[in-house]
Amino acid sequence: MEVSTLLEEIRTYRGRDELPADFDDFWNQAIAELEFPVAYYLVEKDFGLPSVDCYEIQFDGTNGGKIYARMVLPKGAEKVPIIFHFHGYMGRSLDWSSMLPYITAGYGMVSMDVRGQSGYSLDGPRNVRGNTVKGQIIRGMVDGADQLFYKDVYLDVYTLVELVASLEGVDETRLSSYGASQGGALALVAAALNPRITSTVAIYPFLCDFRRVLEFGNTSEAYDELFRYFKFHDPFHETEEDVFGTLAYIDVKNLAHRIKGSVKMITGLADDVCYPITQFAMYNRLECEKEYHLMPEYAHEAMFVYADNKVFNWLCGTHFESKSLLTEFK
């Protein structure tokens, strides 16, 4: 698709399907059934850093999950604003050293391992019917929205925000969320399910507009399981409406209207994993303060060397200059 044609469509595109009539009731009820205060372990890690406190957080998630996160805080500070970071699909939380730059601006950072992926968080035991050969988007789908794997992940995100907000020394009124790909989706989920999140940065968010993804065809491992389901379990697409009716409950575009804080989104227009049009299905449904930033030559790839200063400034309210100000060499 030519860039000009794509830009014309994405300005108004809102996705292939509307959210289910009971969508908000579904998530409100799921949150209401969580038990607080949540039991957790907070383990201090001594890395010999004189100005930083480092902690491991462990808590019980839904359906037997065991959730792990890392947290760094400025040592001895009170009322610390927190940035919640979420990683990409099949990844893990940030290394300790990668979290330290935000300390210089007086911020703490929390980075969570998604259950069942590459970090320390554990998914609970599941008796799951259907195709589980690859991936997690459709896991539990054939048994309905309550059994979806990502329903539990989204509730893990909600619980983490509540837990950290309750900790002594944390400023519960200044919480932000940030991530790319799956992490961008979860950053948006954090804001949609928990109004404590006041600002969000989402880079090429995943998990949006599943039916449009199917129309594009199978171009990435991230969505491969959706195509495998139809190819090997329903080649005539007799269950297609049921499938998309169930996946609607974890479609991030359907959560957009719940976000009250500000959102900034970065999109690579050459992205063939999380297609730009699917990202804007979410963006155009946002009713909050929002802005998007396009990188026309970029796909679903590392763009952070050019975007890091922007993201840091957005999250911390600083003003690092993104462009080089070189004096003339003689």
CA atoms of 54 and 60, how far apart (whole Å):
20
204 is in an annotated binding site: no
Residue 191, token pair as written in the block? 């804001």
Does the annotation count 271 as an active-site position? yes
Q: Are 110 and 85 in contact (CB under 8 A)?
A: yes
Respond yes or no: is residue 181 known to be catalytic.
Answer: yes
What whole-number distance in Å separates Cα of residue 228 and Cα of residue 149?
A: 17
CA dist 330 to 95, 124, 326, Å?
Answer: 41, 64, 12
Q: CA 299 to CA 316: how far, in whole Å? A: 26
Q: How many residues does the chain have?
A: 330
> Alpha carbon 255 to chain centroid distance?
12
> Which member of 176, 181, 199, 262 is catalytic?
181
Looking from the CA of 51 toward its CB, the CA atoms found within 13 Å total 8
Catalogue the active-site residues: 181, 271, 300
Binding site listing for substrate = 89
Binding site listing = 89
